[in-house]
Amino acid sequence: MKFLSVLFFCVGLSAKTISIASSANLAFVMPQLIKSFNQTHPDIKVIFTIGSSGKLYAQIYHGASYDIYMSANEQYAQKLYDHNQRYSPPVVYAKGKLALINTKNNNHQLNISILTHKNIERFAVGNPSTAPYGVATKQALTNAKIYKQTKYKMVYGESISQTLSYVLNSTNIGIVALSALKAKKLSHLKKYTHYIELDSKLYDPIRQSMVRLNNKEETKLFFDFLLSLKAKKIFELYGY
């Protein structure tokens, strides 16, 4: 019995696990990225925590233990590196896109101006204070010259995943990450009927950046994988 106890203890010590702090828009793509990574590194377990970029940044700033921080913008990643330059410099791993979604479209011509219609009483958007996609949404509405007309209708989600939840369970309409529409439960929604990609000229590029928080071998392996051509193709399939 003593021998078995020592054996299991040693196996536990040799296990390799990395923890990723992932912005909310990555909820649907992360499992596929991890699956692809594990095809060549089956011995490394990758776990991820989903949250708003701002809240995850604050957690790490105050000592939360993660191996990689994947933000939905460059600013939070840069701030984290500026706070602790023992981390790796931030690097862009994907570029996000905005989509307007109307799950119960009743013959509306789907464009951003429909948010001004009187029969649209509320619509969901990301909170600019915590969600980089919320910042981009505010820019899009401002540049489309409808922000002042519509700001009283907005229901704010702390993250883009919470924003999508509001669309599905309350408002039926809102602006979310295009990647969020890759969820299997939304496969019935049709482009141009239920959603459209917003004109990228309406908002600054959403350059999603990440920071490697330590020099562990397994952390480096997954970090490098996220910048690989294989990972890039997966990101593209999921709306980046």
Tokens at residue 201, please? 């000229």
Give the whole-number percent of the chain exceeding pLDDT 70: 92
Backbone angles phi, psi at 66, to 5 degrees: -130, 165
- CB count within 10 Å of CB 30 equals 18
For residue 170, pLDDT beyond 60: yes
Bin 236: left if φ > 0, else alpha if -120 < ψ < 50, else beta.
alpha
pLDDT in tens, 126-165: 999 888 999 999 999 999 999 999 999 999 999 888 999 9
pTM to 2 decimal places? 0.84
Q: What is the pLDDT, as a whole number, of residue 5?
A: 38
pLDDT, mean of residues 20-32: 95
pLDDT in tens, 178-199: 998 888 888 889 999 999 999 9
Give the whole-number percent of the chain exceeding pLDDT 90: 80
CATH 3.40.190.10 fits 2-95+205-237, yes or no: yes
Tokens at residue 108, please? 């509306």
Cβ density class 75-97: b for 16+ within 10 Å, e for less: bbbeebbeeeeebbebeebbebb
pLDDT in tens, 33-84: 999 999 999 999 999 999 989 999 999 999 999 999 999 999 999 999 999 9
Q: What is the pLDDT, as a whole number, of residue 183?
A: 82
CATH superfamily of domain region 97-202? Periplasmic binding protein-like II (3.40.190.10)
CA 45, CA 75: separation in Å to the nearest integer? Answer: 29
Evaluated on CA atoms 84, 30, 45, 218, the torsion sign reads negative
pLDDT in tens, 71-128: 999 999 999 999 999 999 999 999 999 999 999 876 667 899 999 999 899 999 999 9
Q: What is the pLDDT, as a whole number, of residue 107?
A: 65
- Where along the chain do the CATH 3.40.190.10 domains lie? 2-95+205-237, 97-202
Q: Looking at per-residue confidence, does 106 or 17 come out higher?
A: 17
